[in-house]
Amino acid sequence: MAMSTALWSFALVVGLLTLTPGLDTALILRTSALGRRRRAWGVVLGIQTGTLLWGAFTSLGVTALLTASHLAYTALRWIGAAYLVWMGARMLRDTFRGLPAADTTDAVLKAGADSVTGGWRQGTLTNLLNPKMGAFYVAVLPQFIPPGTDHFTMGLLLTTVHVLIGLLWSAVLIGFARILHGWLRKPQARRVLDRITGTVIGIFGIRLALSN
């Protein structure tokens, strides 16, 4: 009974977290709305890979050491912030290069960018370079592990619940983005989407850099 209660309670907490619009939502919507469905699913799988690794690290106590070390946490925070700002700036730069958005997107697709592997790398890096994910798991995960259970096994089980909820919500986002695909065939619409997404990602990076 204690294990069942822990699973349902954790599902409620991470479900609310998943539904809150953020960096992951922006990446998935933007990638899928441009017609890159394979890459979008790659991003989803990468994000969930990062989530699973954070859960495993927390269960092993690695992220507890990270949050205890101010230098290690600060270093990871700055690396993550720099990556997000670079990704957002590059996205914004491409919209001001003077080339039609359609030409730019088609060239990227022909170059093989619509691949699960490329999306997976982007999603995994984005998730693992966000130390707040580690801090969240250190603060929250242990509270849902019932006494007497194996910490690593129960931690992975709880993390799997988070991953499954994330996959379900991502499927909804990708389905919604397909509705926008027709509108996004217009070059101007693609530029607008990239500028919005690039701005959101850049703001997240700046916030991460300025946060404690």
Per-residue tens of pLDDT for the chain, all 212 residues: 478 888 999 999 899 888 877 888 888 988 888 778 899 999 999 999 999 999 999 888 877 776 677 777 788 778 878 888 888 888 788 777 754 444 344 434 333 457 899 999 999 998 998 887 887 888 788 888 888 888 889 999 999 999 999 999 999 999 888 777 676 667 777 777 778 878 888 887 888 788 76
**Residue 70: burial class (beta carbons within 10 Å; 0-12, 13-18, 19+):** exposed
CB 62 within 8 A of CB 137: no
pTM of the shown model = 0.75
Q: How many Å is the maximal CA-CA distance in the chain?
A: 62
Residues with Cβ within 8 Å of 189's Cβ and at least 6 positions away in sequence, in order, are 183
